[in-house]
Structure 1
């Protein structure tokens, strides 16, 4: 079975069409356009574990480079990649649907540019961004979403959301940009900055 390629706004079923799927790897990748500013880019993937109101209930269910694992290990960031060099995934998140607390109805997956304002950087200088969902049990890529080049001044992007519907988990290809970096995303998901 080959991987399904999604475009912005598409939703696709994960657990229903893949019976027994409990653990997935969310792989994120990007390339940065070198430019005269000379500063390195450091892009960071984050996950927001949200309730039905799209809010994170506990600060420790916001997963990022300073909090790599949710309390029971349902969502785990495998580590910061500071360069984005090379092929394949730049950062990865592991998600275990069976461990997610019952009130978590959505996991928002985002990417931000670290220190974007100070370095005068934005997603207009990032290309080939993608997310893919991999079945952790056999390493098979289930789907892939290429974000395209729709960004200019944004410093944060909600890449996708995994969400629960009628007891099954689905994937929503979002690709929406924010100005204001990580702080804007935190406010979006109900966290105090």
Structure 2
């Protein structure tokens, strides 16, 4: 059963999803011919209990596709079964410290590589899956100037992992997100 979340809403991640089946976090948009040259490019930032990145390498994106322990991975088109052609973030909860939070973010990139805004795409959303879709959050706001978006987070509370919809936009791209949490985007800018 899919939980359709509104901003701030959260759901527990079932225990079965925490064991042998890695979670996939897929970012998408409505397919509209007029906007076909834009794509949503995902990333994940892992932070510790102080809400800061615990090391510079904890930003996972196309230029840095995995954490050293493999707990978070950027999956390019076709890297996982049942690929729909979109890049996704793979999350292995068993490999993560329960004190960690995983912020799931994205930017908009044109076919020519230039950055866009979330106003350039329609129906931007994030889906959490483990075989089946567990949760979905669709942006319900006008994000015409935001160049990066914190869509959701995965965190541990009361002995279980949870998924929360955030929908917080930044007009300063990934730099705005990583400045807030202490990560670095040097390699992200080269994609």
State the TM-score, normalizing by the size of structure 1: 0.80
Give the one of 79, 82, 95 matched to 1:99. 95
Q: Is the 8 A contact 1:29 1:91 kept in 2?
A: no
Q: Aligned pair count?
A: 175
Which residues in structure 2 correspond to 1:49-88 (within 5 Å)?
Answer: 49-79=46-76
- Asked if residue 109 in structure 1 is aligned to residue 104 in structure 2, the reply is yes
1:182 aligns with 174
Counterpart-to-counterpart distance in 1, 2:85 and 2:127: 9
1:47 aligns with 44
Indicate the RMSD between aligned Cα atoms, in angstroms.
2.5
Counterpart-to-counterpart distance in 1, 2:115 and 2:165: 27
Q: Which runs of 5+ in 1 are unaligned?
A: 82-86
- Distance 1:166-1:182 versus aligned 2 partners, 3 A rule: same
State the TM-score, normalizing by the size of structure 2: 0.81
Q: Is the 8 A contact 1:127 1:149 kept in 2?
A: no
Q: Which runs of 5+ in 2 are unaligned?
A: 186-191
- Distance 1:129-1:174 versus aligned 2 partners, 3 A rule: same
Counterpart-to-counterpart distance in 2, 1:119 and 1:73: 29
2:10 aligns with 11
1:20 is paired with a residue of what secondary structure?
helix
Q: Is the 8 A contact 2:6 2:165 kept in 1?
A: yes
